[in-house]
Structure 1
Amino acid sequence: MIVHSPLKVVLASRNAGKLREFSELLPEVRFVLWPANAQELPETGAFFQDNALQKAEGARAWWREHGPEAVDGVLADDSGLCVDALWGGPGVLSARFAPDLPDYRDKNRRLLAMVPEGADRSARFVCVLAYVPFHGEPLTASGAVEGSLAFDHRGNGGFGYDPIFIPDGFDQTFGELPSETKHTLSHRARACAALRERLAQGRR
């Protein structure tokens, strides 16, 4: 790959867990976190790609008017846990599931309680990334990882639904697996790898 100066990219999220993961998965990118005083970004789409594009394009529009520093583009993701026994839910509503419970340990236990006894526990994590150059057309990339639901919240690693998801081929949840293992197979890792390829093609 031809060596270029690092991209400086706004991450259209205030989620510290996502910032940490993207910084590890895309170390060649310098990320700027979405400012605390910036507007909330829309997530009204029916599909992960809709929401990722909404957030990325909304963030770019805001940054053009109010951004405190020059950047090369904006990255947004929409990701979620899709549980077969819950008809694919919470899916695109994953970030807004159980809003009355601020702690993900409680959210996870509520979600697990919704799965009928004896039901198929297969599930998958899905991630769609949208990268919008400051001047140019958006790129999207996606990734998914198949697995199953644990029976309880297990592990303190990762964030969100990681402690209740067991990827295929493993006995531990994403909350228990080392981050370096998770980063070889997670939905976000796969989406980042696909995006890196698209960006590399565009910069040759």
Structure 2
Amino acid sequence: MLKVLLASRNAGKLREFSELLPHLQFVLWPKDAPELPETGAFFQDNALQKAEGARAWWNEHGTEPVDGVLADDSGLCVDALWGGPGVLSARFAPDLSDYRLKNQRLLSLLPEVADRGARFVCVLAYLPSSGPPFTVSGSVEGSLAQEHRGEGGFGYDPIFIPQGHTRTFGELPSDIKHSLSHRARACAALKERLA
């Protein structure tokens, strides 16, 4: 079993990665470790930045050996907002700490007659202990709900309705979400590469 440093403190992501990649043993990004950089213009840039920053810090301060580093950059891209918040999804509405409020604000930006099309995108960067880094990605098309619905998942899940469904990711059971989400598709691609 590969032991992998997960370059994130996001509890929701950790839970999903543990469920989607049960063959990996995750080492968590420590609470006393620095915030990782996210200054890229694209999801791939940010994922690679985070993975490289995490590996550099771990090489100096890590408490155990790892076989690789995994970093994720993901976000919600809304057609009516010209693809926003996109790579800024995690930093959208920084004055609000609660995602229910962030979701309300995001929905309030849409004109009433706006196209509600949206997609979730996830890019994973993997840096093995030796060898070059690589990235894989996944996305899922859908639309935005009129309001925050459901308490499952995390982040923007309660306002995103995946294509072919009437319930949001916040309402769908996790097994259905894990069969079609952006993160599930990126993890499936990662499994293939690691195999």
Q: TM-score, normalised by structure 1?
A: 0.95
Aligned position for 2:24? 29
Give 1:166's match in structure 2, choosing from 151, 161, 171: 161
Supply the distance in 1 between the matched residues of 2:9 and 2:135 (Cα, whole angstroms).
Answer: 20
CA RMSD of the aligned region, Å? 0.5
Report how far residue 96 of structure 1 moved: 0.2
Q: Which amino acid aligns with 1:146?
A: E
Aligned position for 1:199? 194
Aligned position for 2:2? 7
Q: TM-score, normalised by structure 2?
A: 0.99
| 2:96 equivalent to 1:101 | yes
Give CA-to-partner distance per residue, 1:71-90, whole Å, 9 cap, x none.
Answer: 10100000000000000000
Specify every segment of 5 or more residues in structure 2 that has no aligned partner in the other structure, as ranges.
Answer: none
Instruction: Give % identity.
Output: 81
Aligned position for 1:183? 178
Aligned position for 2:115? 120
Report how far residue 47 of structure 1 moved: 0.1
Aligned position for 2:135? 140
Give CA-to-partner distance per residue, 1:144-172, whole Å, 9 cap, x none.
Answer: 00000000000000000000000000000
Q: Which amino acid aligns with 1:11?
A: L
Report how far residue 139 of structure 1 moved: 1.5
Aligned residues: 195
Moved over 2 A (4+): none
Q: Name the SS of the counterpart of 1:75 in structure 2.
A: strand
Give CA-to-partner distance per residue, 1:110-155, whole Å, 9 cap, x none.
Answer: 0000011110000000000000012221011000000000000000
